[in-house]
Amino acid sequence: MKRKGLLLFIVMLLSLSMIGTVSAAPKLRIMVNNSSVDVGVQIVSGKTLVPLKAFERFKNTSIQWDANTKQATIARDSMKIKLAVGSRTAWKNSDAVQLDVSAKIVDGRVAVPLRFIAEALGARVTVDAATNTVWVQERANAKLVQNYNSNDLVVSRIAALQFPVEEREPSKLTGDNEALSMTYYFPEGRSDDYFILYGHFVKYYEIKDNIVKLVWEADLDMSKEATNKDFTAIFGYPVAKEYGKAPVLAPSYASFYTSVWGSQIIYGMVNADGTTKVSGQSLYWGNNEPFVVAIPGETKL
């Protein structure tokens, strides 16, 4: 009895010594199109399941749920996905796919395999191990990509401005900004990156993998004129604060100025040294008309 008591005492001491050294695994964070999935996330056999409704955040995507058959149908463009609760066989159009884990109903919510659905819909899935975060970002749909690849710069640029935007980092620009106009700058002959100037704020975006990413942003000092022949010259004012990776300036940019209400546009070319050439303007531009127009003499590179 004494020996058993001694062993029990030793086990208790060992257990107490481990308290404080064992911590719970950090909670997995799921971000779908820059929005957090706060409830309904499940980890089953190492696979992540999320509520079916999380994919409602994808553009041009429809979701149907048949309560009788417990089958979900998700459609986007030409892709139609079908899967049923409890079944490890899913369908991508007419092709059967074997899942690692089946869909489930948890607390009244339909939970579906995250990576399978996201990638079948054409989204990009990345894991940030440092923050224990899974990022799901939809790409531009087939029609937008087709327009973006058009040799018509107007069509290409309009599509570029409609691409999904990935914003992993919140904007660091602070302060009141009562901008009544916005100016868009595209490198001459291109549509794969652009600046947006509004008030004293400016942001720079790049398109990669059919996703727009915010790369750089700055707060301009409107009390001074730009003197350096760098990217600040095209805006007319020097940078007071900046965040992110500053872009390499192109030789010239196509610029499109528009008022908040879209009733006025001014378009032309801006050179790296700040010199400008106005190609055209309208004081009575229709609200439903795109402000991106053809600039005489400009062709797609």
With cut-offs at 50, 70 and 90, classify the pLDDT of residue 18. very low
Interior angle at CA 31, CA 164 and CA 43, nearest 5: 140
Report whether pLDDT(137) > 80. yes
Q: What is the pLDDT of residue 169?
A: 74
User: What confidence category does residue 145 fall into, taking pLDDT thresholds of 50, 70 and 90?
Assistant: very high
Mean pLDDT of all residues belonging to the chain: 87
Q: Which positions ≥6 away from 38 have C-beta within 8 Å?
A: none
pLDDT of 13 strictly over 60: no
Highest mean pLDDT out of 131-145, 173-187, 233-247:
131-145
- Would you state the pLDDT for residue 179? 67
Cα 134 to Cα 124: distance, rounded to the nearest angstrom: 10
pLDDT at 257 over 60: yes
3-17, 112-126, 154-168, 223-237: the lowest-pLDDT one: 3-17
pLDDT at 76 over 90: yes
Paired with 266 in beta bridges are 257, 281
11 pLDDT more than 60: no
Phi-psi region of 169 (alpha: psi -120 to 50; beta: other; left: phi over 0): beta
Higher pLDDT, 116 or 262: 116
Give pLDDT, residue 117: 97
Give the global pTM.
0.84
* pLDDT over threshold 50, residue 9: no
CA distances from 210 to 43, 137, 149 (A): 29, 10, 11
- Split at pLDDT 50, 70, 90, the class of 261 is low
The dihedral of CA 216, 222, 224, 225: what is its sign?
positive
Structure confidence by residue, pLDDT tens digits, 203-246 = 999 999 999 999 999 999 988 887 776 667 788 888 899 999 88
Contact (Cβ atoms closer than 8 angstroms) between residue 154 and residue 169: no
Closest by CA to 243, choosing from 219, 272, 211, 208, is 219
d(CA 16, CA 65): 50
pLDDT tier at 119, thresholds 50, 70, 90: very high
Predicted local confidence at residue 167, as pLDDT? 84
pLDDT computed for residue 126 by the predictor: 94
